């Protein structure tokens, strides 16, 4: 199916220059990434030059990517979570509860926690706030998590990261019980993701997989390149793509010949934590580009303005991956509460 396209005859101010035909291609909702397009005139089929034998036409094609709207999909996910919460409350009289643990006074972390609490309450869940001062020790943080783990009224535990140094983040994460690990940060969860077993998966890669499914991105046999090796993003992302039968190359900021590797990727997941790290010239024509980065100034890890030209689909920053991360957290908390309370949702 051909996408709607605009054809415009442009005449140069230079009278000796030939006119040229410029076509801007727009990708249809139902088309798959990488599908070829040909220039057409609205309602007329193929573009043909005017009947002047001496005119020479140059066809200039600009193929801009379609944006992957994370906000709209995230809203649907949150609505589904709210329906689960209502069903749980009616069946048990219990309101699902997410405990958010914030250590220190980092402004960005505080903002993220407020956003998560707001979405939690919008879905009808309770948000239990645990705020610890800067200078909190690993032992003190672990003790707080142990209390939450033993509290049957708490169904999900989120430790906002990064935590201030010198706290041992991994030691803190490992105190979260598997059934309450709604942010997917424990080693037990990662192991289950690698093996394709049921688990509350790290929220960002889980949200990305939902976005890829929403836009009908074919992963079976595709070459996916993941840039970033974090245990809560890059590594589970690579495992989920492998489980979806993609061929995966896991890279990072020190990978040699990274641009050459990228040019063969059908799907790109950028999660390296460096603003505009991925250049437009690295993107294969028709590739799907997922920007999981968020840097100061609402800048992602991909040079968006350059990558939008060769890509077929691309996530904006903000409005792409971010909303899906929070929506996934809310939905997984509702599922965790249902499992712990024995409610079928």
CATH of residue 208's domain is 3.40.50.720
Residues 111 and 151 placed together within one structural domain of the fold = yes
Q: Of 183, 291, 301, 335, which residue is the catalytic one?
A: 183
Residues 316 and 208 reside in one and the same domain: yes
Rounded to 5 degrees, what angle do the CA atoms 82, 85, 88 make?
155
The answer to whether position 340 is within a domain reads: no
Helices (H), the chain: 70-92, 107-122, 138-150, 169-173, 187-194, 203-214, 234-243, 258-262, 304-307, 321-341
Quick check: is 5 catalytic? no
For residue 34, what are the domain limits? 5-63
Q: pLDDT tens digits, the chain, 345 residues: what are they?
A: 333 333 333 333 343 443 333 333 333 333 333 443 333 333 434 444 444 444 433 333 446 789 999 999 999 999 999 999 999 999 999 999 999 999 998 888 888 899 999 999 999 999 999 999 999 999 999 999 999 999 999 999 999 988 999 999 999 999 999 999 999 999 999 999 999 999 999 999 999 999 999 999 999 999 999 999 999 999 999 999 999 999 999 999 799 999 999 999 999 999 999 999 999 999 999 999 999 999 989 999 999 999 999 999 999 999 999 999 999 999 999 999 999 999 999
224 shares a domain with 178: no
Same-domain status, 208 and 285: yes
Looking at the structure, tell me whether residues 51 and 99 fall in a common domain.
Answer: no
| Same domain? 58 vs 99 | no
Q: What is the strand order of the sheet 223-227 is part of?
A: 66-67, 313-314, 288-291, 267-270, 223-227, 247-251
Asked which of 183, 217, 242 is the last residue of a domain, the reply is 183
- 312 in the same domain as 220: yes
Three-state DSSP class for residue 10:
strand
Catalytic residue among 5, 160, 210, 340: 160
Of 134, 153, 183, which marks where a domain is finished?
183
183 is catalytic: yes
Q: Does 256 fall in a domain?
A: yes
Residue 112's domain is classified under what CATH number?
Answer: 3.40.50.10860
Residue 338 belongs to a domain: no
193 found inside a domain: no
User: Which among 5, 66, 84, 116 is annotated as catalytic?
Assistant: 116
Q: The pTM is what?
A: 0.81
Residue 217 lies in a domain: yes
Is-catalytic flag, 266?
Answer: no
């Amino acid at each position: 199916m051909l996408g709607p396209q605009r054809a415009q005859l442009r005449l140069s101010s230079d009278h000796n220059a030939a006119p040229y035909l410029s076509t801007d291609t727009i990708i249809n909702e139902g088309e798959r990434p990488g599908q070829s397009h040909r220039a057409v005139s609205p309602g007329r089929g193929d573009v043909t030059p005017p009947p002047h034998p001496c005119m020479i036409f140059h066809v200039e094609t600009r193929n801009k990517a379609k944006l992957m709207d994370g906000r709209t999909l995230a809203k649907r996910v949150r609505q589904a979570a709210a329906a689960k919460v209502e069903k749980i409350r009616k069946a048990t009289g219990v309101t699902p509860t997410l405990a958010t643990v914030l250590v220190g006074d980092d402004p960005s972390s505080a903002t993220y926690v407020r956003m998560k609490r707001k979405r939690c309450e919008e879905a009808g869940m309770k948000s239990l706030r645990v705020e610890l001062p800067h200078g909190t020790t690993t032992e003190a943080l672990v003790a707080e998590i142990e209390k939450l783990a033993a509290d049957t009224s708490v169904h999900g535990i989120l430790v906002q990261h990064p935590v201030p140094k010198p706290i041992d983040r991994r030691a803190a994460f490992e105190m979260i019980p598997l059934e309450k690990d709604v942010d997917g940060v424990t080693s037990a969860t990662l192991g289950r993701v690698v093996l394709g077993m049921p688990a509350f998966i790290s929220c960002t890669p889980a949200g990305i997989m939902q976005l890829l499914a929403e836009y009908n991105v074919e992963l079976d046999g595709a070459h996916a390149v993941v840039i970033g090796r974090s245990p809560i993003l890059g590594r589970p992302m690579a495992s989920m793509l492998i489980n979806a039968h993609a061929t995966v190359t896991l890279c990072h900021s020190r990978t040699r010949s990274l641009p050459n590797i990228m040019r063969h990727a059908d799907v790109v997941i950028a999660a390296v934590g460096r603003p505009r790290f991925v250049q437009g010239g690295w993107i294969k024509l028709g590739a799907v580009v997922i920007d999981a980065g968020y840097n100061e100034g609402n800048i992602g890890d991909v040079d968006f303005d350059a990558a939008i030209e060769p890509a077929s689909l691309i996530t904006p920053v903000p409005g792409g991956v971010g909303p899906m991360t929070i929506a996934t957290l809310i939905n997984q908390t509702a599922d965790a509460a249902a499992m712990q309370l024995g409610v079928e949702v």
